[in-house]
A = this chain, B = another copy of it.
């Protein structure tokens, strides 16, 4: 057919380039993406309908790059914890792109394979059918929010006025000022969610 074996442009290449660009520049425009791929903007539109679809491709790239080799045969608590940590790590690897990516992706078809695995994990673990999606969604919301927190500037936390906010000041004195603050919050929240989900099972 005269088509090159390795096409200059395909959807995965577009997703990967967009992820790299957004990560480096914290923003994404079609002209900049076209430039980074060495093509004209019009060439991009042969493959994607627009910016929303590019962001969807970035998310797909993120999921594909990290979710492939997970052990789904573990007990549900371990499996759910692994999923949440891998998911957060994927975001953390592209901090500049997080604000673009951190919208709820539940509806995107390429996520279905992953959700199916998590759903099976929960059903096997004993969750009722009507609990499965709320549990997945709640955990995913926590991961997305934590990803946003992970990339948030923490610089102004030190500006808390001791007189007007004594409890907050004391809490800050006992909290690390670097990125381990976000990691600590994620650990406590994830642990709490798993404990709470376990409690759902037991009642």
Contact = CB atoms under 8 A, between A and B. Distances in A.
Contact of A157 (B107, B146, B154): B107
Contact of A131 (B116, B166, B182, B188): B188
A70 interface: no
A48 interface: no
B132 A141 contact: no
Contacts of A99: 103
B145 A113 contact: no
Q: How many chain copies?
A: 2
Q: What does DSSP make chain A's interface, helix, strand, loop or mixed?
A: helix
Interface in A149-203: 149, 152-157, 159-161, 164-168, 170-175, 181-182, 184-189, 191-197, 199-200
A138 B172 CA distance: 15
Contact of A188 (B113, B188, B200): B200
Contacts of A139: 189
